[in-house]
Structure formats: C-alpha cells, structure tokens
Structure 1
C-alpha cells in the first residue's frame, strides 16, 4: 500500500526542490532530512551557530568565574548545557566540543566526562 503526502516549502526555497531532483538516487534520504527539519521547525544549523546559541552568554572563562560562586557549579552548568546540546544535535556535537575546548580550555576536562 502506498502513502501520499504533501511537503510544502516556504516561498523562496524553490532551490530545495531543484536539489531534490538532481539527487534522485538519494531522494529518500533527502526527503527524510527535509521532513526532520520541517518537523523540528528549524533549519539545519552549523556547529558555530549552535555553539553561539548555547554558550553565547558566556563571553570568556573570566566571565564564567564571575557568574558562578565556585568552579564546581560552573562546571555543572556547562556540563548541563553540553548534555542538552548532545541530546538535541548529536550529529554536530563533536564539532561543538572542539569549539568549546577552544573557547574555554580551562573547562575542557568536562568533555572527557561526557
């Protein structure tokens, strides 16, 4: 039994359909990804954008030390954000971890615990 459904793309995204037509052999993978993006209500984001959304409010390690009363609570807060990010965006988590280690080298050991 075959099923039929309609997938609507917002105006200005006709290039998506053209890309799908070029990738006919992989059309099912393309549609699966498009459906996931559509159901999530968001577009695929780069690791840098994900990192900025999750850690943009922490400007530097010095700023983190000012906000939290001790290192343990800072590590726990950072770890919680990383865990949530891994749960939601597991595919891009490795790249986000590299960005995290680069910006906050003093807290990079948290990544070993995850």
Structure 2
C-alpha cells in the first residue's frame, strides 16, 4: 500500500532485472540468455539487478556460483550485453556462501576511484 509505505517503491517502476528462474548453474552462466533484461524492461530504468541463483535453492550451487571468478564474469558480461549498464544489485540465495560481499566491495571501490578521477 503506497499510502502506508511511502519509502518503499515498486522496484520495476525504477529498475529492471534479468530472468528470475534458472534450472541450473549452466543456465545462469549462459550469458546470452541469462543476462537479458526481463522483468521491468519497459523503458529506460535507473537500476539494473541480476538474478544469480537457481530455481530450487541449493547451498552447494550457491557456493559454485559465488566464486570470485564466476561473479566477476557474470557481472561483467551482463553489463556489457546491456550497453555497459552498471549492475546495481546482484540477487543471490545464501549470501554467506561464496564471495559476493568481497566482490561487491571490490567493485564499489573501483567505481568510487573512477568517479574521484573524473
């Protein structure tokens, strides 16, 4: 209810995300399909989120998908495939499995340094 939750907005009014359901880690790493703008893709939006989890939650798959190399590869490829659009959010199951916090920190530091040199 927008009248009671004035600070919470409908994400798809402001953002777009990749497809929501992937059956396997291989489906996620198929960038041609997994990096497409999907939900919320009706126009230019400020935020871009990538879904990085399988349909059925699995801590084992989360560890496999949460390696530093896998995360950087997916983020870089999804950004490049979508006009170098920056990735605002990486949605995962089991955020404590893998290296998402570290990768996020590294990427945020890089963005900050680029902005400070402009």
State the TM-score, normalizing by the size of structure 2.
Answer: 0.30
Structure with bigger strand share is 2
State the TM-score, normalizing by the size of structure 1.
Answer: 0.30
Larger Rg: 1
Structure with bigger helix share is 1
